[in-house]
Structure 1
């Protein structure tokens, strides 16, 4: 089972073609009901992205622990 998808966003995600692709991916993940988390790798000095990403996915992982394994 897919718990979530994490995408690492670098500066290329600011380009017009990547913005379009990212919006498409957001839509696909929503339609597939797959939790989708973006982690910026460009703001390393501003925010500890590893901890921010961990905090976003922690509830997703916790929710799967209560579900039966197939």
Structure 2
């Protein structure tokens, strides 16, 4: 699948194995790469259906646990 630059800050290609999809469908543990691929697919579907404005995708580096505040940037 192609990753739009809006998702990952650069255009790139992402491949996923059928075994990974099977694990996901059977609620088995999966890697973060697989989760990234599913999020990219979700983003693409939402973009196609014009529903992106209803949700926010966050940079996981901006989220922390503890006493630090969540910073999601201007306009969010």
Same fold (TM over 0.5): no
TM-score normalised by L of structure 2: 0.30
